[in-house]
A and B are shown apart, each in its own frame.
Chain A
Amino acid sequence: MAAKDELGRRGEDEAVRYLEQRGLVVLSRNWRCRDGELDVVAVDGDRLVVVEVKTRSGTRFGEPAEAVTARKIARIRRLAQAWLTAHHVRWCGVRFDVVAVLMEPDRPATLQHYEAAF
């Protein structure tokens, strides 16, 4: 596994731990289809939450959350649609969150949760 994937994996683990602490129920992780991958799909009360986890090892190239560009947002929306279809979910409210994980070496990971980011 490449170093960047390894980093992403650890970041997602952190994020899921945090989300579960907050009382969200994680339904699926790294759900894949032809168009791409959804990092985390969870349920918060009666709401479906699609979470994009973005992990960085430093801020030299900007904050992690900034890497969520308009194009990525459009893709996640499309994927969410695909997920709903694949799981035969009729209609429900969907919320899109971003969890930014900063894992600097030799430091505890910091985590920032943007609820309803887009």
Chain B
Amino acid sequence: MGLARAWAVALRGVEGHVVEIEADIGGGLPGVHLVGLPDAALQESRDRVRAAVVNSGRTWPNERVVLALSPATLRKTGSGFDLALACGVLAAAGTVEQRALEGTVLVGELALDGRLRAVRGVLPCLLAARAAGVRRVVVPEDALTEAALVDGIDVYGAATLGQVLAWFEGAPVLARPCAPPALAAAPLHDLADVVGQDDARRALEVAAAGGHHLLLVGPPGTGKTMLAQRIAGLLPELSSEEALALAAIRSVAGVLPAEGLTRTPPFVAPHHSTSMAALVGGGSGLARPGAVSLAHRGTLFMDEAPEFKSHVLDALRTPLEEGEVRLARAEGTVRYPARFQLVLAANPCPCAPAHDRDCVCPSLVRRRYLGRLSGPLLDRVDLRARMYPVTALSVVGVPAEDTATVRARVTAARAAAADRWTAYGWRCNGDVPGPALRAHFALPAPVVRPLDAGLRSGELTARGADRALRVAWTLADLQGLARPDRDSVEQALYFRDRRAA
């Protein structure tokens, strides 16, 4: 009898670490001892693994079995180690050759009858294995489409422990991933459905072109929600790296859709009763990703924004600035990327009649209502647009522009911005840090004079001025200008006007 090694991956947030599992058999009363900071689910795998091995028709060594997970100081969670533990024990017992296990990462939970069950986070496991230079990975068959997203590593899908053992002996029984599934285009809503609302449409276009945050204010039934949902159709497709980063977050959250990788930017719309943990991520032990991370590289739409709890809204402030959330829990801090575009929609007051003049709310109630959107949060919103009641269903004259037309302009503007910023590693105007914008791309004094005036009079904060500057760049890109002119800056300030909200 003896010693054997197998490999698995421990996840910590979306980061994985390859874990070496050593199995030692011999000396002492029969029993299984699992060491190396396993959590409760992993402790239970002792019983699962044993039942699965016996029910797969193999003998479990009738001796003392010690299983060590290293690095021993890293906390390991979940049931994804089952397969590696089983193979480690069988290799130590001499049933499987150690040579077959070398350089292979094994991921999957075992059912008692030896079937292999899918686990959360297969994708980040594979990314970690690839980064560690692993050549082969065996995953549950159900996770094969997810695993197919990672190239540069040999992936095999198994349905049972028996198949994996047969494969070690050289039988070609494991499934290989088929070609990455076709990227299904999500059914998109069209902008042509929205009646009127030129101001808000323009704001939406600018938001999509520059990756700016947007607030829509208007009475109910004017199309705030309709308009916000249509931003998804204006945004460019994700690059494969971005799509992979998003898929990794979804995989950890356990919500990766069956078709796997999608290049459509995510659109996440939490209900206003959402909790802090659901929004920014949370959970005991190690935190799981929340809505802001699931909206990474896409849109987070908060309808009826003043109805959200104010501390929940304010929790958005740091991720809005930093593009990631760091969640500290008892068992460590995890980082999740969260570079999303925020779209807020709100009624002007609780009673919200079609025409504002019919409002019956006392002035204090009115003020309090939008006051729930805190100053610091609104300061981070670049564009504020007012929406007006629809006065005629059939607007005479030109029909409303459709998504394709607007999207073409947005794409052109984004391409212009990307040309300018790629050398610096930024993607769109919304990503550019303020100091860089002021230092390396300073505009002539007459152009920025309105900003100086705003700063002096206290209408603008320093951050607000930076943000207005970014919007001005986007407006220039949309117009095909090389750099913003006075007009762009003034328009940007118009969209920032607090009185709109």
The residues of A with any CB-CB pair to B shorter than 8 Å are 63, 65-66, 68, 98, 112, 114, 117-118
Contact = CB atoms under 8 A, between A and B. Distances in A.
Contacts of B30: 63, 65-66
A114 B27 CA distance: 8
Interface of A is mostly: mixed
A94 B103 CA distance: 46
Contacts of B62: 63, 65, 112
B29 interface: yes
Interface string B22-61: 0000001111000000000000000000000000000000
A100 to B, nearest CB: 8
17 contacts: A63-B30, A63-B62, A65-B29, A65-B30, A65-B62, A66-B29, A66-B30, A66-B31, A68-B29, A98-B29, A112-B62, A114-B28, A114-B29, A117-B28, A117-B29, A118-B28, A118-B29
Interface of B: 28-31, 62
Prevailing SS type, chain B contact patch: loop
A118 B64 CA distance: 12
Most buried by A among B28, B29, B62: B29
Contacts of A68: 29
B140 to A, nearest CB: 28
A114 B62 CA distance: 11
B50 to A, nearest CB: 10
Contacts of A63: 30, 62
The 10 closest A-B pairs by CB, nearest first: A117-B29, A65-B30, A63-B62, A66-B30, A65-B29, A63-B30, A114-B29, A68-B29, A117-B28, A98-B29
Contacts of B31: 66
Contacts of A65: 29-30, 62
A90 B493 CA distance: 95
Among B30, B31, B62, which residue has the most Cβ atoms of chain A within 10 A? B30
A66 B29 CA distance: 7
Q: Which of A98, A112, A114 has the most CB of B within 10 A?
A: A114
